[in-house]
């Protein structure tokens, strides 16, 4: 793990992974959307509305997955002071926030025809909304200080504190009565979802993850480049002031 904390090594690795991750993202999302919107059957109860699920569920997984990744990066940044860890945590936050938002919106669109309401303050929906606020708080806090070091540290602590929400989201439907249905895929006794519907769901999930890796590499790269530029500029200013 410590080997990859070196920016030069990250850049070399990124170069190898980037074509693969972007190709997998495009292929999986293309195939996944085709199956989800056209080639998969309608549900016996929900009819065509089931197609919302192919975006909603992978987006929800992404929201929780990105937060977990962000918390792990933040812990690495706090404990080992890896120069890359802060950067990757900050690159993950907007991706996670966007997918969490997508999950809430698609869920709302599904809830109206199925449940009969856009929103319910049950444990699952509320904890997911808290997740979105945690992302927004993280991004705001990371940029709230003049000294980026202090901002990173404060945001990393928030990311770790907020991590307790992730298991609460996952098991909220089992611990309390909720309007939201219990888990269909990751549960005891195997998935309660037909294979013809599980395949597009998993394709979308893999596509989203590959998208995250691609964004992480692109943002990591540009941040490393920006830091180099900053260092060179500082050196120039120092040199110029000494020359006078």
Q: Running DSSP on this structure, what letter comes out for residue 41?
A: P
Q: What's the CA gap between 20 and 183, in Å, rounded?
A: 31
What is the number of alpha carbons within 13 Å of residue 37 lying toward its C-beta? Answer: 8
Q: Among residues 25 and 153, whose Cβ is nearest to other proteins?
A: 153
Question: Residues touching other proteins: how many (CB under 8 A)?
Answer: 41
| 190 binds other proteins, rule: CB under 8 A | no
Please report where in the chains the tokens 């993202």 appear, as a residue: 25
Token readout for 126 is: 């509320």
In angstroms, the CA 138 to CA 152 distance is 9
Least CB distance to other proteins at residue 190 (A)? 12
Choose one: 10-18, 101-109, 136-144, 158-166; the region binding other proteins (CB under 8 A). Answer: 158-166
Does 177 bind other proteins (CB under 8 A)? Our answer is yes
Copy the structure tokens of residue 11: 């850049």
Interaction pattern, residues 25-64, with other proteins; x per rule: CB under 8 A: ----------------xxxxxx---x--x-----------
Residue 115 found at the interface with other proteins (CB under 8 A):
yes
Reading the block at residue 123, the tokens are 């444990």
12 near other proteins, rule: CB under 8 A: no
Residue pair 182/174 in contact (Cβ under 8 Å)? The answer is: yes
SS3 192: coil
Binding status of residue 197 toward other proteins by CB under 8 A? yes
Closer residue to other proteins in complex, CB, 174/232: 174
Residue 142 token pair:
């990371």
Residues 65-104 that bind other proteins (CB under 8 A): 75, 78-80
CB of 172 to other proteins, least distance (A): 8
3-state secondary structure of 43: strand
Contact 96, 90 (CB under 8 A): no
Residues 200-239: x where in contact with other proteins by CB under 8 A, - otherwise, as a string: ----------------------------------------
- If the CB atoms of residues 75 and 98 are measured against other proteins, the closer one turns out to be 75
User: Residue 77, Cβ neighbours under 10 Å: how many?
Assistant: 24
The closest of 196, 194, 210, 203 to 57, measured between CA atoms, is 203
Q: Which residues bind other proteins (CB under 8 A)?
A: 41-46, 50, 53, 75, 78-80, 113-117, 120-123, 160-161, 163-164, 168, 175-179, 181-184, 187, 192-194, 196-197
């Amino acid at each position: 793990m410590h080997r990859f904390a070196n920016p030069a090594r990250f850049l070399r690795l990124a170069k190898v992974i980037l074509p693969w991750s972007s190709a997998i993202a495009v292929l999986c999302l293309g195939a996944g959307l085709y199956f989800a919107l056209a080639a998969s059957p309608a549900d016996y109860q929900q009819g065509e509305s089931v197609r919302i699920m192919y975006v909603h569920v992978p987006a929800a997984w992404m929201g929780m997955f990105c937060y977990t990744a962000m918390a792990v990066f933040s812990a690495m940044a706090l404990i080992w002071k890896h120069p890359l860890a802060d950067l990757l945590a900050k690159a993950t936050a907007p991706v996670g926030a966007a997918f969490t938002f997508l999950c809430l919106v698609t869920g709302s669109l599904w809830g109206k025809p199925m449940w009969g309401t856009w929103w319910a303050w049950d444990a699952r929906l509320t904890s997911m909304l808290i997740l979105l606020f945690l992302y927004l708080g993280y991004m705001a806090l990371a940029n709230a200080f003049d000294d980026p070091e202090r901002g990173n540290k404060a945001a990393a602590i928030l990311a770790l504190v907020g991590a307790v929400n992730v298991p609460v989201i996952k098991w909220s439907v089992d611990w309390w009565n909720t309007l939201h249905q219990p888990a269909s895929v990751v549960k005891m006794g195997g998935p309660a979802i037909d294979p013809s519907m599980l395949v597009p769901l998993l394709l979308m999930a893999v596509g989203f993850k590959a998208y995250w890796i691609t964004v992480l590499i692109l943002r990591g790269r540009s941040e490393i480049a920006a830091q180099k530029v900053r260092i060179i500029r500082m050196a120039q200013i120092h040199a110029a002031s000494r020359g006078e």
